[in-house]
Amino acid sequence: MKKNFLLGILFILAGGFTFGLYFVLFSSNLKQDVKIVVNPDTNVDSLYTRLKPYMDFPAGFKIAAHIKRFQKPVPGLYRLPKNLSNNDLINILRSGRQEEIKVTFNNIIDLEHLAGRLAQYLAPDSLAFLKAMKNPENIKKYGFNEQTALLMYIPNTYRFYYNTSPEAFMQRMYKEYRKFWNQNRLAQAEEIGLSPIEAGILASIVQKETTRKEEMPRIAGVYLNRLKKGMLLQADPTVVFAYKRQSGDTATIKRVLNIHIETDDPYNTYKYPGLPPGPITMPDIQAIDAVLRAENHNYYYFVADPQRPGYHLFSRTLSEHNQKARNYRQYLNKLKVYK
């Protein structure tokens, strides 16, 4: 009888242990939906501290983590639904079943600014992104060079996992670049005598010339006419870019002067023929398509329109243009804009 009693006690204890184990692992614990970003340095203890306020039985999570030998979650963005059990919670965080993040970038002037923007969304810091994007081997692998590397990144909204590495980001961006330059756009570029990279460089100039999307194809047509005729582009945005590159001056330039035009730099299209060696900003999709669908006209010159800020006046002859340019200079003088 004593033996049977002991067996009974053991059976009860075993049953209680089994029930306790089941309760710790499989009963619901999260009392509300939780959105959490797990960083690379997060361990189970810091994760417990962050999740504790949202749990009905916080200690159960620590016990479950010990049972399942869970020590470190996979970095990422997670949406954890209400009533999630400790077992499912640990499985999600251990396997990295995370939610994708929308990453948007536009109005980017260089790789440094792109790296900074990406670090606002994803786990790697800006230095890690910049190192990968400026790595000569990476750049060459995708068919670009130091001057043209920025053109591989087509500004848009994309979905990435939080723990996406810089190298994986570049691979994805190259796929998006190839997708963007489909057969239709390649045919359009060939028709105007430009490669995709050349079209991107010209688009960066067009984008800096105007914020009026409806004017972009006309301005693109002016520059294409100049290229076909072998004229200097004489694009003011390239002068500003070249001057800042050489001088390190970051001040806003509202009026292009001789001191700027005289800058000896390959990006200065007042001095050097053809397109500059690379983009002067990251061109957006509208600017690239404006180049590919440039207006077919006989304009070779344009100047800002003092009567309609943001718009331009176009001319076919130099004499016509000079008169409009004089009027614009008088307008700037009247506003006391001298530099």
Q: What is the pLDDT of residue 22?
A: 55
Q: How far, rounded to the nearest angstrom, does the alpha carbon of residue 148 sit from its chain's CA centroid?
A: 16
Q: Which carries the bigger pLDDT value, residue 38 or residue 12? A: 38
CA–CA–CA angle 59, 65, 66 (5° rounding)? 95
Determine the pLDDT at residue 228: 97
User: Which stretches of 192-310 are DSSP H helices?
Assistant: 196-209, 216-229, 236-247, 258-261, 285-292
Is residue 17's pLDDT more than 50?
Answer: no
CA pair distance 108, 282, nearest whole angstrom = 5
| 154-198 per-position pLDDT tens digit | 999 999 999 999 999 999 999 999 999 999 999 999 999 999 999
Say what percent of the chain tops pLDDT 90: 70
Cα gap 337→256, rounded to integer Å? 11
C-alpha span between 18 and 11 (Å, rounded): 10
Question: Cβ of 64: how many Cβ atoms within 10 Å?
Answer: 21
3-state secondary structure of 105: strand
Q: Give me the chain's average pLDDT, please.
A: 91
Q: Is the pLDDT of residue 3 over 80?
A: no
Instruction: Yes or no: say if 52 and 76 are a contact pair by the CB < 8 Å rule.
Output: no
**Per-residue pLDDT at 21:** 67
Flag whether pLDDT at 36 surpasses 60.
Answer: yes
Cα separation, 39 vs 123, in Å, equals 7
Tell me the average pLDDT across 102-119.
Answer: 96
The residue among 239, 245, 277, 278 whose CA lies nearest residue 259 is 239
Q: Which two tokens stand for residue 262?
A: 């005289």
Q: Residue 60's pLDDT is what?
A: 86
3-state DSSP call for residue 159? strand
CB 54 within 8 A of CB 30: yes
Main-chain dihedrals φ then ψ at residue 100, nearest 5 degrees? -75, 150
For position 23, what pLDDT does the model report? 62
SS3 176: helix
Mean pLDDT of the region 88-101: 90
- Residue 82: C-alpha distances to residues 34, 90, 273, 299, 336 (Å): 7, 14, 64, 64, 63
Q: What pTM does this model have?
A: 0.86
Residue 250 has pLDDT above 80, yes or no: yes
Query: Taking 60 as the threshold, does the pLDDT of residue 14 lie above it?
Result: no
Least confident of 6-10, 89-93, 122-126, 145-149: 6-10
Q: In one letter, which amino acid is 265?
A: D
Residue 13, pLDDT score: 41
Residue 89 has pLDDT above 60, yes or no: yes
Position 26 pLDDT exceeds 90: no
Look at 29 and 252; give whichever has higher pLDDT: 252
* Residues facing residue 264 across a β-bridge: none
H or E stretch covering 334 = helix 318-334
Say which residues have a Cβ less than 8 Å from residue 27's Cβ, sequence separation at least 6: 57, 60, 85, 86
Beta carbons of 120 and 140 less than 8 angstroms apart:
no
